[in-house]
Amino acid sequence: MSRSSSPTSSLNIYTAIEENRRKTALFIAVFVLLIGLIAFAVGIVLGLPVAPAGVVSLVLTAFALLLALWLYRASDRIVLGISEAREAKRQEHLELYRTVENISIAAGIPMPKVYIINDTAPNAFATGRDPAHASVAVTTGLLQKLSKLELEGVIAHEISHIRNFDTRLMVMVAVFVGFIAVLADVMLRYTWYGAGRRTRYKGKGEGSAGAVVLVLAIVALILAPIAAQVIQFAIARQREFLADASSALLTRYPAGLAGALEKITNDTEPLEVATKGTAHLYIANPIKGQESSMNNLFATHPPIKERVARLRAMASAA
């Protein structure tokens, strides 16, 4: 839709929020179907008939969901530890505390814990399983290089991730992607070493049809991890758009976040504590110097120019 990508057009904030929620729901539905498909393929590779393979599919899908629910409870502590974040003291960072407090009140959620990352590269992220168990982390560089209105835009973006349960969603999606990748790898090794050969179908009356089903199952095992990562990236990009729109709704000043994104992107200093495993959490990609058309295709963040254009369009529509 042209009005969502053109910097000269106007974009209604509520329309942007609703559009991104619909797209994310669609991606999640596809993701669940993908998990069911690879679990079914596992049953076929193991030599099971179609009906028992379907049961295996249901069992493994349920296991993946339970695993995600169990792991996401500890994800915030792990991420904060990897990022070398320390809890901020109110007396030392009073303006930051007040900003987080005010935006939290506007969003209607409890105030999250506030953390500081001692790094001059400007960036921020939110984590936590729900609004009652959430944290916002910002770098010292962000506090030094952004104006008050730009800081409000960034904090509103991160608070929006918490309010929209993006922090929970992305942890669960990451677990699903890892589960699919490990399961596919194990089953492919199982197949290559002969345990899943076509001979498993002999004597079962399946003949060439059984062999075709087996080949299709192996193809699914090969393609599923790639498809899972593509869906993960697509979900992440949609949630970034949603958080941008939600931030504009909270602050009523989309230009603040737009200016912050431009400053963060134009800053060439890489964030030392960021890794490829945690990069998707930040408001903008913290890993610098790796931009390319291929990397952009598999990026977890939408292009900054597009995000800024949408925010400017929201400002013109206000």
Provide the CB-side half-sphere exposure for 301 (13 A, CA). 21
Give the model's pLDDT for residue 213: 61
- Quick check: 273 pLDDT over 80? yes
For a pLDDT cut of 70, what percent of the chain falls above it?
73
Please report the sign of the dihedral spanned by the C-alpha atoms of residue 119, residue 123, residue 129, residue 130. Answer: positive
Q: Which tens digits make up the pLDDT trace of 207-264?
A: 565 566 667 667 777 777 787 777 777 778 888 998 999 999 999 999 999 999 999 9
* Tens-place pLDDT, residues 63-77: 776 766 676 676 788
Burial degree of 316 (CB within 10 A; 0-12, 13-18, 19+): middle
Q: Rounded mean pLDDT of the chain?
A: 79
The model carries a pTM of 0.75
Q: Identify the pLDDT of residue 300.
A: 72
What pLDDT does 202 receive?
45
Vertex 258: Cα angle to 257 and 264 (nearest 5): 85
Q: What would the mean pLDDT of 161-190 be, rounded to a whole number?
A: 76
Which residues carry out catalysis?
A: 158
Q: How distant is the alpha carbon of residue 130 from its chain centre?
A: 15
Tens of pLDDT, residues 7-18: 334 455 566 566
Give residue 92's Cα distance to chain centre. 32
* pLDDT tens track for 95-124: 999 999 999 999 999 999 999 999 999 999
Measured in residues, the chain has a length of 318
313 SS3 class: helix
